[in-house]
Amino acid sequence: MPYIPFTDEQKVIANSVDLAEFLRMRGEKLERVGREHKLIYYDSSGKHDSITLCGSTWFDHKNQVGGGAIKFMQEFYDMDFQTAVQELL
């Protein structure tokens, strides 16, 4: 993907996206747990629910990694920074 010169404001907006709402629009399955949501997903080893979401932040308890919306898109959907920001905007 070609370089896109995002403004600082665009990066802040992208990283502030409510992940639960965004992921529901993408068709992901979420389960509400108190004030947080768990992302329910499947891979070759079965069903997983180790990723919790709260607003624009997330944490993967299994792999001990987390962050904001942009990093989520990079980690979970294997996107580069440019694509992640563009998707979130």
For residue 36, pLDDT over 90 is answered with yes
Which pTM does this prediction carry? 0.87
Which structural domain range is residue 61 located in? 18-88
The pLDDT, as a whole number, for residue 1 is: 65
Q: What value does the mean pLDDT take over residues 13-41? A: 95
User: Given a cut of 80, is residue 54 above it in pLDDT?
Assistant: yes
Give mean pLDDT, residues 31-36: 93
> How many domains is the chain partitioned into structurally?
1
Please give the pLDDT value at position 25: 94
Q: Is the pLDDT of residue 45 over 90?
A: no
| Residue 41, domain member (yes or no) | yes
Domain-embedded: residue 51: yes
User: Which structure tokens are listed for 2?
Assistant: 């070609």
Does the structure show a pLDDT above 80 at 64?
Answer: yes
* pLDDT of res. 59: 97
